[in-house]
Structure 1
Amino acid sequence: MNRTMITATNTLAQLQKQMDMIANNMANIDTNGYKKRDATFTELMYQQFDNQRRDGAEVGRLTPNGVRQGTGARIGQTQLDMTQGNVKQADRPLDTAFTKEGQLYKVLVQTGVGNEIQYTRNGAMYLSPVGENEVALVNADGHSIVDANNNPIYITGEAKEYNIDSSGQLSVTMTNGTLQTFELGVVQVNKPQFLVSKGNNLFGLPENFAELNVGVDEILTDMVGPLRGEIGIQSHALESSNVDMAKEMTSLMNAQRAYQFQSRAVSMADQMMGLVNGIR
């Protein structure tokens, strides 16, 4: 296999990953609160061949001295885009939308090793029966929405009215006239690139904090105490995804053209090797 084929095949695998990411963005265009990811490429290691023995032979050259031969490109980073999506009106009082960027709800998820706090931008909440005359506040997948102290929210009794204010306080008016209040768990993400996608529109924290040289407090901030006033929530509304279909289609076509170019390079290299091997 010659150098051209190695370079092309290295890049082909990375372009396939980019197209998979674009396809995932397009598939979630109607997912509430979905945040798209963008891929950026970087060059793989290259070798430099000095084709002139003396620097004086390169006088007047406009490009850098020598010939650089690369080995392809790879995805250097996948960036999570936390820009605000469009807010659309909804009829349910438990449908909410964040009006400030970088804020997420806390969700208690049951994993194979226990319970784990994960995070979502999807503000659609539901009620799930957990006992006699008691319901829990959950997301669409049945995972508990937790309060500011990471405790599941349970509403006891027969509710008459639900209201969520701009600071994330859930007020439940009961049929007997009493009032139950809960502070929804909300975090502000400071470094979204450290969040790990967990599936089902949920994010989690990385496990290798020592390797990343970063702490939990640097990645996100719990919105508790005086910080509750900085939360921006709109009730009777849902946030759309921030996926721009026209932009994603353009990126997909560019990636497909690059993929075709690299495939063509492999075919041409194979033809050249065939010609060389056919020489008698």
Structure 2
Amino acid sequence: MNRMMITSTNTLSQLQLKLDTISSNIANVDTTGYKRKEANFTDLLVQQFNNQTQASREIGRLTPNGIRQGTGAKLGQSQLILTQGSLKMTSRSLDAALTKPDLFFSVRVSDESGENIRYTRDGAFFMTPVNGNTHQLMLVTNDGNSVLDEFNRPIVVNGNVTDISMSGNGQIKIETSDRGTQTFELGIVSVKKPQFMEQLGGNLLALPANLNQMNVNAEDILTSLTGGLRGEISMTQGALENSNVDLSKEMSNLIMVQRQYQFQSRAITMADQMQGLVNSIR
């Protein structure tokens, strides 16, 4: 296989990864609180062949000495973009939208690895009975994951709920007909280094499992807003945040990547035709 084929093949596999990223963004254009990802490319190893070993013999040369030949490109980084999405008013008392781009709700998810804390921007909450007891309700997400308070405990309400109100600093007050008012502080974190977060299914984010290998602490990536830090929270009740995906931009990126994919495929075809031509010479 000649160098043209190697370069094109290397790049094709990486372009497929970018296509997958764009496809995921387009598929989640209507997902509440979804944050788009952006893929960036870097060059692979570049080799330089000097056609003149002594630079002194290249006096008067206007172009750089030698010939630089690349071996393709790779997906250097897939970056999570935390820009604020537009708000959609719902007037529903259990809907909450975070109005700062770095804030996330804390939820508890049960999966094959056990119970873990995850983070989401989707503030469409519901109340579900605990073990079938209609007088004991738990605050959950649309997928049934329990919403946590500032100390990472599930929010459980006792009594018959009559009214729900939320304040801008993440406090939720639940009025009951038989137990009075119950107040909770929603568990909210501030993500300062989103490039370390892993994007999971179900519109969830998680801390990477290999923090120790990266020599990074969880505190370096995100901060739990408790105590005096609650003043940094900004939230609106009766609204949901739309995704920050710009469909027109994603479609433009999709067309560009398709053109690049076609170009690399054409390069492989041309290299094959050239080899066939050379092999046919007698």
Superposition TM-score, scaled by structure 2 size: 0.97
Equivalent-residue separation in structure 2 for 1:59 and 1:145 (angstroms): 72
Residue 209 of structure 1 is matched in structure 2 by 211
Amino acid at match of 1:117: I
Segments of 5+ residues of structure 1 without an aligned counterpart are none
Identity of aligned residues (%): 51
Segments of 5+ residues of structure 2 without an aligned counterpart are none
Residue 178 of structure 1 is matched in structure 2 by 180
Equivalent-residue separation in structure 1 for 2:119 and 2:64 (angstroms): 48
Equivalent-residue separation in structure 1 for 2:32 and 2:166 (angstroms): 18
Equivalent-residue separation in structure 2 for 1:139 and 1:236 (angstroms): 15
Say yes or no: does 1:113 pair with 2:113: yes
Residue 148 of structure 2 is matched in structure 1 by 146
Q: Deviations over 1:98-143 (max 9, x none)?
A: 1111000001000213210000011111111113211111111100
* Offset at residue 177 of structure 1 (A): 6.7
Equivalent-residue separation in structure 2 for 1:154 and 1:60 (angstroms): 80
Amino acid at match of 1:26: I
Task: Map 1:18-167; keep pairs closer than 5 Å.
Answer: 18-130=18-130, 131-132=132-133, 133-167=135-169
Equivalent-residue separation in structure 2 for 1:57 and 1:246 (angstroms): 54
Equivalent-residue separation in structure 2 for 1:178 and 1:167 (angstroms): 22
Superposition TM-score, scaled by structure 1 size: 0.98
Residue 224 of structure 1 is matched in structure 2 by 226
Amino acid at match of 2:164: Y
Equivalent-residue separation in structure 2 for 1:45 and 1:182 (angstroms): 55
Equivalent-residue separation in structure 2 for 1:60 and 1:148 (angstroms): 70
Equivalent-residue separation in structure 2 for 1:200 and 1:57 (angstroms): 63
Residue 12 of structure 1 is matched in structure 2 by 12
Across the two proteins, how many residue pairs are aligned to each other? 280
Q: Deviations over 1:234-258 (max 9, x none)?
A: 0000000000111111111110110
* Offset at residue 223 of structure 1 (A): 0.2
Residue 193 of structure 2 is matched in structure 1 by 191
Equivalent-residue separation in structure 1 for 2:243 and 2:113 (angstroms): 31
* Offset at residue 2 of structure 1 (A): 0.8
> Could you say if the C-alpha distance between residues 71 and 230 of structure 1 is closer, same or farther in structure 2, counting changes exceeding 3 Å?
same
Amino acid at match of 1:42: T
State the SS of the aligned residue for 1:211.
coil
RMSD: 1.1
Residue 168 of structure 1 is matched in structure 2 by 170
Q: Deviations over 1:146-197 (max 9, x none)?
A: 1111111111110000011111111001123710011110000010000001
Equivalent-residue separation in structure 2 for 1:60 and 1:135 (angstroms): 82
